[in-house]
Amino acid sequence: MPFQYYFSRKQLHATPFSAKMGTILPRRMPSRLLVTGGCGFIGSNFIHHILNSFCDIEFDSCDDDHVLYSNNYQEMEIDLLNMDKLTYAADPDNLKIVSDYSGYFFEQCDISDYARVIEIFENFKPECVIHFAAESHVDRSIESGYEFMVSNVLGTHVLLEASRKVGVSLFIHISTDEVYGSTDHDSFSENSHLNPSSPYSSSKASSDLVALSHHNTYGTPVIVTRCTNNFGPRQHPEKLVPKVIQLASQDCKIPVYGSGMQVRDWLYVKDHCQAILDIILKGEVGQIYNIAGRNEINNLEMIDSILRRIGKSSELIEHTNDRQGHDFRYSVDDGKLRSLGWEPRISFEDGLDYTIADTINRLGLGKK
């Protein structure tokens, strides 16, 4: 979409913010948002969630989970630019309905393309950047880590440079609990040391440090979030939950790495989106916030939960050789975030029901 359309509505400019002057954030919702990776899983859910929450428009078609997430925010106009490279994991159809909203704009862009990113930022002038875009599949990073380093590390640096150049008020860097590595018993706090095990998690740990260094050096108003495993609508079928739903629905074998006893903490994606929104409104610049579901189960338990719901046998499970560098357990302490008033609203059980129904519908698995 041509740049002149960015200012067809109320024209607002970002106000430069110096974290050296303090860490008080505006309590109002920024009205000009730039989202990277918005055609992906979490990014598209976040865009739906923001526009549902503030623009009095119900875009969501995933059963009625948006009813459980009705917020009482004051209605306002939001201009939102989605910047996405449209790699294999992105799906523009995730935002097909959103595209009818007059304040939604899209630019296809590689975030590591410095000149292009600068051009987009200078024309749109975002107040707030929410950076989801990342190569995120661990298996792919083990096969070849190059794209992970380019996108996740260099791309983050480019976005931060652009943000500094136009003076954004807030930069939310979306990261992962995997940067901490594995733990047998305890839960990691935001002050725990980083011990990534895969090319993917090491690229995310590196990008976290790049983001925080921009805050420390230039006063860029950065906040880093590190969330546990997400599940929900619009997730790419290479990920565990939609993959199991798809394979089981077709009576295909379900490959499970090693013993399947690896433990992950699961959070429904809409709760993650609300956590990010609460951090935008209440978070402290220069800080890291862990986000957890407090639903720790092993992979076999997750698979069994899905199989029971769709009436399939555990005999479909097929154990394979374990993955290289496979972390056994992820666990983070999110007390810092919960002190801001956030907590999950959608139970693991309800979220899994919504996810199965949505995945079967989207992939056409219920058709004979």
Residue of 69, 200, 330, 354 marked active site: 200
Nearest partner of 205 among 158, 238, 156, judged by Cα? 156
**What is residue 5's three-state secondary structure?**
helix
Quote the radius of gyration of the chain (alpha carbons, Å): 20
**What is residue 232's three-state secondary structure?**
coil
The rounded distance, in Å, linking the Cα atoms of 321 and 318 is 10
Q: At 128, which amino acid appears?
A: C
The rounded distance, in Å, linking the Cα atoms of 346 and 163 is 34
Residue of 107, 127, 177, 208 marked active site: 177
Sign for the CA dihedral angle at 254, 46, 295, 366 comes to negative
80: Cα separation from own chain's centroid: 16
Helical (H) or strand (E) element with 207 = helix 199-218
Active site residue 304: no
Using alpha carbons only, what angle is made at residue 297 by residues 296 and 298, rounded to the nearest 5 degrees?
135
Q: At 18, which amino acid appears?
A: S
Active site residue 200: yes
Tell me the two tokens of residue 139. 């298996």
Active site residue 93: no
The rounded distance, in Å, linking the Cα atoms of 210 and 216 is 10
Catalytic residues, by residue number, are: 177-178, 200
